[in-house]
Amino acid sequence: MTKAEGTLPVAILVPGNFNDHAIGRIDKAFRRVRIERADPGLVTDEMRRTVRGIACFGGIDAAMIDALPNLEIIANFGVGYDSVDANHAAKRGVMVTNTPDVLTEEVADTTIGLLINTVRDMYAAEKWLRDGDWVKKGNYRLSRLTLRGRRIGIFGMGRIGLAVAHRLEAFGLPIAYHNRRKVEGLAYDYHATLKGLAEAVDTLICIAPGGAATEKTINAEILSALGSNGVFVNIGRGSTVDEAALAAALENGTIAAAGLDVFANEPNVPQALLDAPNTSLLPHVGSASDHTRRAMADLCVDNLVAWFTERRPLTPVPETINVKARG
């Protein structure tokens, strides 16, 4: 906490539940205004007059932005901000910030763990031991899949994608990637299309952001291109996957297995994915350690403090990079 914190006569709106550490810091630095959810219908006249900032887990649409005429900044908790209408915010002169970098290594670690769990049946093997089946029935079966000899494709070679790629290099695995554009200076093979990447690899890791541009891009065509030995891992956004097509591909052997940390309608997971014996499923825990969530909370609040004390953001999103503080 800086000396300036605790003296800022600024109302910050916090919709719904929020990180406890972030709330503690907001309460010391600002006047916190709580609202059940980000719903324009819940905005009072006083909020319209006084609220200048929002701290949130996303979910801020154009209508919510328009409901707060004095809004200056939306501090999003998380690197992904697809559920914040950043383009509309930019038009309104509202800054949007996120929390990149501080979660990169944690999410990359989770990705590797999820990949290994998916190909080596670690969860099922541990359950075999805990249920007493090792004693009663003998050794757990040999895993059908392995990392050995696999070719890795990464969809979304940003900060997290690079961290995942660096880890997988230590496994001696070849790496390729697909982005909207080639990353200059990167030695990994680049594929201009997602289908081209899927055809070239047998292990596809999705770290792509959500939003209309990527919605259901992992579809039946991509899964078919990945092939019957294919493994799909999603650590990015559930919206990037056609979950019905994925469930069908797992059931009919189009691909071999899938590891998922994110889903299209969280916390609701399609029953077909829950029932599939060749899935490894996590409840969106990519960055979920005390250490990393605290760092994310600090960066979220640091953005608010920097904006209202120095009139600048620390980590603006690209859409609002040119937004200037008022006055």
pLDDT in tens, the chain (327 residues): 444 445 689 999 999 999 999 999 999 999 999 999 999 999 999 999 999 999 999 999 999 999 999 999 999 999 999 999 999 999 999 999 999 999 999 999 999 999 999 999 999 999 999 999 999 999 999 999 999 999 999 999 999 999 999 999 999 999 999 999 999 999 999 999 999 999 999 999 999 999 999 999 999 999 999 999 999 999 999 999 999 999 999 999 999 999 999 999 999 999 999 999 999 999 999 999 999 999 999 999 999 999 999 999 999 999 999 999 987
Q: H helices of the chain, where?
A: 20-29, 45-50, 62-66, 86-91, 104-120, 122-130, 133-137, 159-169, 194-200, 220-226, 243-252, 271-275, 290-310
Looking at the chain, which residues constitute the CATH 3.40.50.720 domain(s)?
Answer: 11-100+290-320, 104-281
Name every residue whose Cβ is closer than 8 Å to that of residue 200 and which is 6 or more positions away in sequence. Answer: 151, 153, 176, 189, 191
Cα(205)–Cα(174) distance, rounded to whole angstroms?
A: 13
What pTM does this model have?
Answer: 0.93
* CA nearest neighbour of 218 among 249, 252, 183: 249
Class of domain 11-100+290-320 (CATH, top level): alpha beta
Q: What are phi and psi of 124, to 5 degrees?
A: -65, -35
Domain 104-281 fold is Rossmann fold (3.40.50)
CA 246 vs CA 63, 145, 209, 219, 233: distances in Å: 34, 18, 18, 7, 11
Q: Which residues are catalytic?
A: 237, 266, 284
Tokens of 144: 């059908």
